[in-house]
Amino acid sequence: MELFKERHSSWLENFYDLVFAIIVLQLSINLNLDVSVNGFLSFVALFIPVCWLWIGVAFYATRFGTDDMTHRFLTLLQIGACAFMAVNIPEGLGKNSGWFALSYAATRAILVIEYIRAGKHVPEARSLTNRYSIGFSISAVIWFVSAFVPPPFRFILWIIGMIIDICTPLLFTKRFSTQFAPHTQHLPERFGSFTIIVLGIAILGVVNGIATHEWTIYSMISAALGLGIAFSLWWIYFDTVDGSEIRALQENKKLGVYVTWLYIHFPLIIGFTALGVGVEHIVLSNQSSVLPTSEIWLMCISTFICLFSLGILQVTSAVSNPQFTDSKGIQKYREGICSIGTAVAVLIVGAVLRDGVMPVILIAIMAIACLGQVILDIKRHPHHLNSKF
């Protein structure tokens, strides 16, 4: 087993991501069927453990990545458990909640086996792997037990298990930040892959809307603006990712910046998925009638989450960069603050227009908000305007 091997995402990791694409699609379908406040909260409640499962595997791979037969077999078992989870996403907080809990417990148990195995083959990492194994094992047991406990106590156990799961790495990040920090290239690439998957699901919603709806000039404009929003979010995110937060942890022990960068991906991915559902609803809506309040809020809140999270990412990237005090660093920081301010403005728009607005007007406002951040990025990176031919 090779520690900190210089590499990009493996074919096995990309295959593993396919299962999560299906899970994210199932989650978006759940939200699509119920865009109420309760539907959105249920969507978030299921998305958090799903996202954490993916992060757990990504962190293991970036530290102890290997491609031997045992690892492939364990990954296959994880894929099977995740596929079973995807089956139980519908009614995941209802009649299928017990099966959802069992699938989560199974994936975490397999990850514990991976960490125990890593400690056996990498003695210098044993202190870290033992601590992770204990914390994740406790969480897996709690999730397993929850499957046999009736609601609402089942969900209380879920919360306790998630707190233990999320806090376990936090307790030891600073202690092992230099020797066992995530890879500065591999981990951002993995997050980028997951982001691409979620944006792809959002675009799928737009395509489905076009394919199943009678084409009108306004629905086509709405679809085009939806694609523009997805492209703008892609632009902002991938012009921000540079691994500087991980380097700041390794070299300067900036734990706060790194932890903020890591955990802000939770709302970001949730926002991307919800925004795709919101765009699909706008494309499918009657373009000559005002939108229901629930759909207006879904669009505004999801856009707010996306822009706010991207703004935080821009700020963490700026302050973790050694050249933060130069003009480019300051400009990047200001971009982040501007994104956060735009996100707040989007919420205000939602409050003003909550009683009704035409679909094409609402999505145009959201598109302008996202496109404005792209224009700021182009001003900071003028090379985007220059042809390379």
- Please enumerate in sequence order all residues whose Cβ is within 8 A of that of 125, keeping only pairs 6 or more positions apart, or say none: 3, 63, 64, 118, 119, 180
- The pTM assigned to this predicted structure is 0.89
Q: Is 60 exceeded by the pLDDT of residue 302?
A: yes
Q: Is 60 exceeded by the pLDDT of residue 389?
A: no
Work out the pLDDT band at 340, boundaries 50, 70, 90: very high
Terminus-to-terminus CA distance in the chain, angstroms?
Answer: 44
Residue 196: closest CA among 47, 17, 347: 17
pLDDT of residue 1: 43
To the nearest whole number, what is the mean pLDDT of the chain? 86
Residue 19: closest CA among 95, 80, 91, 60: 80
How large is the average pLDDT for residues 150-164? 95
Work out the pLDDT band at 220, boundaries 50, 70, 90: confident
Joined tokens for residue 343: 């996100």
Share of the chain above pLDDT 70, in %: 89
| Model pLDDT for residues 352-385, shown as the tens digit of each residue | 888 889 999 999 999 999 999 998 888 776 556 6
Q: Is 50 exceeded by the pLDDT of residue 4?
A: no
pLDDT of residue 178: 56
Q: Is 70 exceeded by the pLDDT of residue 212?
A: no
Give the orientation angle of helix 11-33 with respect to helix 69-87, to 10 degrees.
10
pLDDT of residue 160: 96
Work out the pLDDT band at 7, boundaries 50, 70, 90: low
pLDDT of residue 174: 59
Residue scoring higher pLDDT (140 or 284): 140
| Model pLDDT for residues 328-337, shown as the tens digit of each residue | 667 878 888 9
| CA distances for 177 relative to 86, 121, 158, 234, angstroms | 34, 20, 29, 29
CATH (one of 1.10.1740, 1.20.120, 3.30.460, 1.20.1410) for 186-380: 1.20.1410
Residue scoring higher pLDDT (20 or 9): 20
pLDDT of residue 331: 80
| Model pLDDT for residues 303-327, shown as the tens digit of each residue | 999 999 999 999 988 888 766 666 6
Rounded-to-integer distance, Cα 324 and Cα 248, Å: 12
- Please enumerate in sequence order all residues whose Cβ is within 8 A of that of 15, keeping only pairs 6 or more positions apart, or say none: 79
Q: How far is CA 211 from the centre of its chain?
A: 27
Helices and strands (H, E) in the chain, number of each type: 14, 0
CATH 1.20.1410 residue ranges in the chain? 186-380
Sign of the CA dihedral 321, 386, 192, 225?
positive
pLDDT of residue 326: 63
Q: Is 80 exceeded by the pLDDT of residue 50?
A: yes
How large is the average pLDDT for residues 105-113? 95
Q: Which residue has the tokens 């500087």?
A: 244
Rounded-to-integer distance, Cα 138 and Cα 143, Å: 9
pLDDT of residue 382: 58
Residue 263: closest CA among 20, 55, 108: 55
Rounded-to-integer distance, Cα 308 and Cα 119, Å: 39
Residue 200: closest CA among 233, 225, 222: 233
Q: What is the CA radius of gyration of the chain?
A: 21
Rounded-to-integer distance, Cα 36 and Cα 298, Å: 8
Q: In this predicted structure, which of 30-34, 169-173, 211-215 has the lowest mean pLDDT?
A: 211-215
Work out the pLDDT band at 2, boundaries 50, 70, 90: very low
Residue 326 burial (10 A CB sphere; 0-12, 13-18, 19+): exposed
User: How many CB atoms neighbour CB 354 within 10 A?
Assistant: 14
Share of the chain above pLDDT 90, in %: 46
Residue 16: closest CA among 45, 64, 53, 47: 53
Contact predicate 19/86, CB 8 Å: yes
How large is the average pLDDT for residues 216-239? 89
